[in-house]
Structure 1
Amino acid sequence: MERNIDSLFGSKTRVKLLNLFFNNPNTNYYVREITRLIDEQVNSVRRELSNLQEVGIVVSTNNERKLFYTLNHDFEYYLPLRAIFSDEPMLLKRQNTDDKNSNYWDDKLSLVLDYINVFIISGRLVEDSTSKVDMIIVGDNKDNKLSNWANSLEESMNKQLNYSIMNTSEFYYRFSTKDIFLNSVLKNKYKVILDKSNILGKE
């Protein structure tokens, strides 16, 4: 299988680069660092980085006289390539919201996939929902990772969202005791975008 992938993408170095970037989608790397990590010659790495940048898979920035490369999340075929090269399973359930395409939440959640366990949308993000809550975000909000992510969603949508962030234990307790707040959301129209532990029993 590995040999077939190498043949398909034309270069062993290119395949190693794609594996590196799609398994570390938010990390910036400089050339010498990449060379060590994938154990390939620097000239080969430079050549393939140039190819990937020309296609649009990676972008580069200058910082402290070093050229850094990182994955381009806006690349047209980001999700198909992620499915091929990332070791992280595609756990996300694709849903439409407003005028966004079906890959919208896959892309957004990829930024916090290590921190978030359950993600529910309702209210203004779901057609015909009358809920006053737009998002329920469940996971580890260490260093305000999820709070900052929610703020970035508001900015990208250009709207203020009503959301609640809670850890997994709190969410499970509220769900199991039919908490009034959570129950009010789940009795309304909503969509489960992510449920890693299948707490809600959704397919």
Structure 2
Amino acid sequence: MKLSCIMFAGMLTRLFSSSVRADILALLLNTPEERFYVREIANILGKNPSGVKRELDNLEKIGILVSERVANLRYFRANKNSPLFNELKNLI
């Protein structure tokens, strides 16, 4: 699963200005039922946690992702109610 997410992230990188953003979208849109915390996403993608957090916040602001706080961790997942969800998922 991780390999296919990374393969498609290359295509998304061409569409989006940030490779981190493209990698996050590939991961979360391919696993819409799962939620991940910032450091977990950074470890899976092999990216810097501060860059991952910045992109997660940006994607949440535009409604593509949603987050929830559980104890001291903030979990992110794809927002299946976003009008862009199906369109972006079809790109992957």
Short-chain TM bin = 0.7 to 0.9
Amino acid at match of 1:48: E
Answering whether residue 50 of structure 2 is matched by residue 43 of structure 1, we say yes
Could you tell me which residue of structure 2 aligns to residue 16 of structure 1? 23
Deviation at 1:22, TM superposition (A): 1.0
> Structure 1, unaligned stretches of length 5 or more?
86-203
Superposed, which structure 2 residues align to 1:74-153 within 5 Å? Answer: 74-85=81-92
- Larger relative contact order (Cα-Cα within 8 Å, sequence gap ≥ 6): 2
Whole-angstrom distance in 2 between the partners of 1:42 and 1:77: 25
- The answer to which structure has the higher helix fraction is 2
Give how far 1:67 is off.
0.5
SS of residue matched to 1:40: coil
Distance in 2 between the 1:25 and 1:15 partners? 15
Distance 2:80 2:46 in 1: 25
Pairwise CA distance, 1:77: 1.1
- Cα shift at 1:21: 0.4
Tell me how far apart the structure 2 counterparts of residues 5 and 53 of structure 1 sit (CA, whole Å): 18
How big is the shift at 1:43?
Answer: 1.0
Aligned with 2:83: secondary structure? Answer: coil
The 2-side partners of 1:22 and 1:77 are apart by 11
Give the TM-score, by structure 2 length.
Answer: 0.85
* Higher Rg: 1
| Cα distance between partner residues in 2 of 1:5 and 1:17 | 10
Name the counterpart of 2:40: 33
Describe the superposition over 1:60-84 as per-residue Cα deviations: whole angstroms up to 9, x where unpaired: 1010211111110000111110011
For 1:58 and 1:79, how far apart are their aligned partners in 2? 13
Q: What amino acid sits opposite 2:39 in the alignment?
A: R
Query: What is the RMSD of the two structures over their aligned residues, measured on CA atoms?
Result: 1.4
The percent identity for this pair of structures is 30
Structure 1 stretches of at least 4 aligned residues deviating more than 6 Å after TM superposition: none
Query: What are structure 2's unaligned runs of at least 5 residues?
Result: 1-7
AA at the equivalent of 1:41: N
Q: Distance in 2 between matches of 1:53 and 1:41?
A: 18
Q: How far does residue 7 in structure 1 lie from its aligned partner after superposition?
A: 3.2
Cα offset for 1:6?
Answer: 1.3
C-alpha change, 1:19 and 1:5, in structure 2 (3 Å) is closer
- How far does the alpha carbon of each residue in 1:153-177 deviate from its partner, in whole angstroms, 9 at most, with x for none? xxxxxxxxxxxxxxxxxxxxxxxxx
Partner of residue 69 from structure 2, selected from 58, 62, 65 = 62
Q: Distance in 2 between matches of 1:83 and 1:40?
A: 24
